[in-house]
Chain A
Amino acid sequence: MGVKQRSKSLSASGNQLANTFFQLEILNKKELLPTSYVKFKDKIAQVGVPNIDVVPVEIFQLNIGKLCNQTCAHCHVDAGPDKKEEQMTKPDLERCLLIIKAVDSIHTVDITGGAPEMNVNFRWFVTEVRKLNKKIINRCNLTIIRSNPKYYDLPEFFAENKVHIVSSLPYFSASRTDKQRGDGVFEDSISALQMLNKVGYGIVDNLKLDLVYNPSGAFLPGSQCSLENEFKRQLLRRYDVKFHNLLCITNLPISRFLDYLIETDNYTDYMETLANAFNPATLDGLMCKNTISVSWDGNLYDCDFNQMLNLKVASNSQHISNFDVQQLNQRKVIINEHCYGCTAGAGSSCGGELV
């Protein structure tokens, strides 16, 4: 069964939120925020953290293109099948390889998209990174493996290159998964997981398969450990599927999820929920501290979310063409109201909970 698109991208539907300035304007509109709301900058200052400083970059996260076979309702990338042009080119991927090679502190290359596998240079790039002996994470949406015969051998390709697979599965039942990601996504995702299990993913230690859970609505994720136990139990019982870890990620109020919050009149309450759940213990582990996020056109950001809001790093080095690791390691992270999404409760990052 194929995947039916859940929605259109913001840009394809002519939505004002496709403009990142407009998103930032909404996030900073006082009238839309709860009365007791304290700005993120002031909130962290209150707990003695006036700025978020970085440590030497360890994770090089690359969004190699916004093209995707899905159009999930919550997608913060605003990815979809219409994003054919926004693809990282081979010369830019080559530039990235030079950076990854030159910067010793980078131990992990985290490849994301869209569906990164749809970039024509994906396999070449993965094999080149492998030669550099760095850890590779690929954020695979699962259904891509089932979408076309040319992708059926991806599990073997991933295994050969010891790629760590991180995949979204919002729930262990079709109804909630498909509501967020599109009709047919659950069935294809389970079938892709079974193919990954078949080559050893999720079973042997060096073929890591982690699943990502993000709430399918305007609420926070519960305890990662408890949800992981339930996902493991249910996926094994119902579909004989195994995986290593469940990473819980909070939905940040940007892009299509912001649109959903506004459309369903949940925005103000959600911002209040995030702000009330502020946990200062998460600040030390924020992913922006050790990550550089690169967009398909080579610009540099503190994280994937800042990338989607087009908030470039506060440094003279803002593009892979003038990557200056010394300068970047001195920078202060650009923060805004969406950052509350990373500090709520147990915290949230591309690696799941923070505390």
Chain B
Amino acid sequence: MEKKYFDPKDLAKFGEITKYQKDMGTKFFDWYGEVFSGDTALTEREKSLIALAVAHTVQCPYCIDAYTTACLEKGADEEQMMEAVHVAAAIKGGATLAFGIQMMNHAEKMNM
């Protein structure tokens, strides 16, 4: 059998992570379910857009597929979804650049 990482079919098996640690796994799914369920302080659509952005920063292909679908289902459009990805990218890029200050501080200390 061909060995491959990231088989899209594995997404459907996510529920099986309770197999070796039932209590913790069940608690995770209860909590996860509550986070995303219904319009609460944030609407379901807003939560899905945040999830989509985070999925890009953690570079999880399963989450990207799942939350692209969720965003569409909840009524977000492609423009909003791409904007969410830009928000994620801006924070990631900005955070990388912010470490430049540390580099500068250290370089300035080391140089004459």
Please, which residues of chain A bring their CB within 8 A of the CB of B39?
Answer: 223, 225-226, 229
Does A176 reach chain B (CB closer than 8 Å)?
Answer: yes
Selected interface stretch from B20-28, B67-75, B94-102: B67-75
Chain A nearest CB, measured from B46 CB (Å): 10
A230 touches B43 (CB 8 A): yes
Given contacts A222-B44, A225-B39, A226-B44, contact A173 B69 (CB under 8 A): no
A230 touches B45 (CB 8 A): yes
A219 touches B69 (CB 8 A): yes
Name B77's contact: one of A175, A223, A229, A231 (CB within 8 Å): A175
- A33 and B45 CA atoms in complex are apart in Å by 30
B77 touches A217 (CB 8 A): no
A220 touches B73 (CB 8 A): yes
- A219 and B66 CA atoms in complex are apart in Å by 11
Please, which residues of chain A bring their CB within 8 A of the CB of B69?
Answer: 219
**A272: nearest chain-B partner, CB-CB:** B12
Name B73's contact: one of A171, A176, A215 (CB within 8 Å): A215
Please, which residues of chain B bring their CB within 8 A of the CB of A213?
Answer: 75
Does A221 reach chain B (CB closer than 8 Å)?
Answer: yes
Chain B residues 5 to 57 lying within 8 A of chain A, measured CB to CB, are: 38-39, 43-45
B77 touches A173 (CB 8 A): yes
- A215 and B72 CA atoms in complex are apart in Å by 8
Please, which residues of chain B bring their CB within 8 A of the CB of A171?
Answer: 75, 77
Does A227 reach chain B (CB closer than 8 Å)?
Answer: yes
- A223 and B43 CA atoms in complex are apart in Å by 11
Please, which residues of chain B bring their CB within 8 A of the CB of A226?
Answer: 38-39, 43-45, 74-75
Name A227's contact: one of B38, B75, B77, B79 (CB within 8 Å): B75
A219 touches B72 (CB 8 A): yes
- A221 and B73 CA atoms in complex are apart in Å by 5
Chain A nearest CB, measured from B54 CB (Å): 19
- A300 and B71 CA atoms in complex are apart in Å by 39
**A171: nearest chain-B partner, CB-CB:** B77
A222 touches B75 (CB 8 A): yes
A176 touches B77 (CB 8 A): yes
Chain B nearest CB, measured from A247 CB (Å): 14
Please, which residues of chain B bring their CB within 8 A of the CB of A175?
Answer: 77, 79
Chain B nearest CB, measured from A208 CB (Å): 22
- A227 and B75 CA atoms in complex are apart in Å by 6
- A161 and B97 CA atoms in complex are apart in Å by 66
Given contacts A229-B39, A230-B43, A230-B45, contact A219 B73 (CB under 8 A): yes
Please, which residues of chain A bring their CB within 8 A of the CB of B44?
Answer: 222-223, 226
B77 touches A222 (CB 8 A): no
Please, which residues of chain A bring their CB within 8 A of the CB of B43?
Answer: 226, 229-230
- A230 and B76 CA atoms in complex are apart in Å by 10
**A231: nearest chain-B partner, CB-CB:** B75
Please, which residues of chain B bring their CB within 8 A of the CB of A222?
Answer: 44-45, 73-75
Chain B nearest CB, measured from A168 CB (Å): 15
- A10 and B28 CA atoms in complex are apart in Å by 48
Q: Mark interface residues in A155-168 (1 if CB within 8 Å of B CB, else 0).
A: 00000000000000
- A-B pairs with lowest CB-CB distance, top 7: A222-B74, A222-B73, A227-B75, A219-B72, A226-B39, A219-B73, A226-B44
**A–B Cβ pairs within 8 angstroms, 9 of them:** A213-B75, A220-B73, A221-B73, A222-B44, A223-B38, A223-B39, A223-B44, A230-B43, A230-B45
- Other A-B contacts than A171-B77, A219-B72, A223-B38, 12 sampled, CB-CB below 8 A, are A171-B75, A173-B77, A213-B75, A219-B73, A220-B73, A222-B45, A222-B73, A225-B39, A226-B45, A229-B43, A230-B43, A230-B75
